[in-house]
Structure 1
Amino acid sequence: MRELSVFVDESGDFGPYSSHSPYYLFTLLFHDQENSINTEVTYLDRKVQEHGFDIHAIHTGPIIRNEGYYKNFSPDDRKRLFNDLLLFTRHVNIKYHIVSVDKKQASGSKQLVDMLSKQLVLFLRDNLEYFMSFDKIIVYYDYGQSEITTILTSVFNSMFIDVDFRHVQPYEYKLFQVADMICTLELSKLNFDNNKISKSEENFYESHRKFKDYYYKTIKKKKI
């Protein structure tokens, strides 16, 4: 039986548009379970420990903002951890897609949900042959936002017969952490492209060129 894992993570909120929250986006990361990633997971865990970090859920937004668990680590150490996850992403056999909306285009949360749902439906229809090649689809989400839960369950259940939805804790799956990182990088791309880059992003990536030629280039190769 061929099974497809779909890891979902989001960035933004369903409140009104603001300069601090101009976009809403979520990542869908796809992994054919026939492709083992055990070797890559073992290597990542070893590199994380070598760089002085506990084995934990790598959360890239706080790494960039120097918050929480990462607050007492140097900029170089935080970049090493980020790059460990980026290198892991480069080597695993995955694909991803981003669903995103500029919140200026939505009059409220209901319209935002409708716009995101329609984007997801169109993407799945455009790639229906790929998804129908699997016997079962398993969607992993941390149920962080009820609107995303509703979008995922309604859209996937309406289009596929055998779909399983699972509540995931970020530390349980490296690919969920990759989905988080991709969401972070895609948001940073929007910020760079629209001159909305934050000071913490500017400091972390160092320049738009480095962001584009190193960070974003790495994940773009995995994009559907």
Structure 2
Amino acid sequence: MRELSIFIDESGDAAFRSDFYLVTLVFHRQDEPIQPNIAQYECTLTKELLDTIPFHFNPLLNGQDDYKWKDIRSRKRQLHAFRIFAEHLPIAYAAFVFEKRSRVTNTAQLTRAIEADVKGLLRSKQAYLQDFDQVKIYYDDGQSIVTKALHLAIEGAISSQAAVYKDASPKLYRLAQVADYLCGIELTAAKYERHLETRTDVEFFGSIRNFKKNYLKKIRRKRLN
């Protein structure tokens, strides 16, 4: 049986307390093994005396949650290790950036925009999706309006019999962590492009030129064609 996994993550809040809202989809053909990549990544963490905890982009940059007691040098090394891991995975991804107060100005518009964009992508990839016997959607049901929009988009573009929804806690799946990483990178790109980068962004990534060279261009080679 040919199976495709789609891991979904989001960044931002639906209550319009942030400038952007992002939705990222990570596509993985299950006949392409990723366990060797995971094993190599975890081996690197052990050798470098880094934590094997689930990767979480924003807390890592801001020194929160599991990274609260880690200095910035350790967090930069943790980010670098995950970057190398993500860049070598056999995946593809698509990211949608919604700038608030421009394209979307309220939660209803945001819901419709997410549904329309995700549905449009999936419909444009119908030939690709129909090559699989089963499509498994992994999402942690984060914010209710996003959950609703994603279900409407997926069920409108993929046969409900072919789609299987599964809980995608980042604690359980490295690919869910990759979706989180990609959300973080694409959000950082949006901020740099609009000159909204923070002191933390600059501390971790440097100038926009360095960010594009060392992070953005490399991972965007994985974008779904």
How far apart, in 1, do the equivalents of 2:158 and 2:122 lie?
10
Match of 2:169 in 1: 169
Deviations, residues 112-167 of structure 1 (Å, cap 9, x unaligned): 10011111111112222111111111011111111221122222122222100111
The alpha-carbon deviation at position 211 of structure 1 amounts to: 0.6
1:14-163 correspondence runs (5 A): 14-16=14-16, 18=17, 21-104=18-101, 105-161=103-159, 162-163=162-163
1:180 Cα deviation from its structure 2 partner:
0.4
| Partner AA of 2:19 in structure 1 | P
Give the whole-Å Cα distance in 2 for the aligned partners of 1:49 and 1:69: 17
Structure 2: where are the runs of 5+ without partners? Answer: none
Deviates more, 1:76-85 or 1:184-193: 76-85
Answer yes or no: is 1:195 the counterpart of 2:185: no
Correspondence 1:221 to 2:218: no
Structure 2 distance, partners of 1:152, 1:215, is 28
Q: Distance in 2 between matches of 1:66 and 1:201?
A: 13
TM-aligned CA deviation for residue 54 of structure 1: 3.2
Paired with 1:36 and 1:171, the residues of 2 have a C-alpha distance of 20
Whole-Å separation in 1 of the counterparts to 2:157 and 2:120? 11
The CA deviation string for residues 200-224 of structure 1, in whole angstroms up to 9 with x for no partner, is 1111112211110011122110012
- Distance in 2, Cα, partners of 1:143 & 1:174: 17
Q: Secondary structure at the match of 2:203?
A: helix
C-alpha distance in structure 1 between counterparts of 2:141 and 2:49, whole Å: 31
Match for 1:22: what amino acid? D
Distance 1:212 1:85 in 2: 17
Q: Describe the SS at the equivalent of 1:172.
A: coil
Shift in Å, 1:53 = 3.0
Q: Which runs of 5+ in 1 are unaligned?
A: none
- Cα RMSD, aligned residues only: 1.3
Count of paired positions? 221
Q: Quick one: distance in 1 between partners of 2:89 and 2:122? A: 22
CA distance in 2, matches of 1:95, 1:113: 24
Q: What is the CA–CA distance in structure 1 between the aligned matches of 2:157 and 2:114, rounded to whole Å?
A: 16
1:221 partner SS = helix
1:51–1:77: 8 Å Cα contact kept in structure 2? no
Provide the rounded CA distance (Å) in 1 between the counterparts of 2:216 and 2:75.
Answer: 17
Measure how far apart 1:195 and its partner are: 0.6
Alpha-carbon distance, 1:62 to partner = 1.2
Question: How far apart, CA to CA, are the structure 1 residues paired with 2:217 and 2:105?
Answer: 33
Over residues 28-57 of structure 1, what are the superposed CA-to-partner deviations in whole Å (9 max), with x where a residue is unaligned? Answer: 000000000111111111112223233221
CA contact (8 A) 2:60 2:75 kept: yes
Amino acid at match of 1:117: E
Contact 1:22 1:103 in 2 (8 A): yes
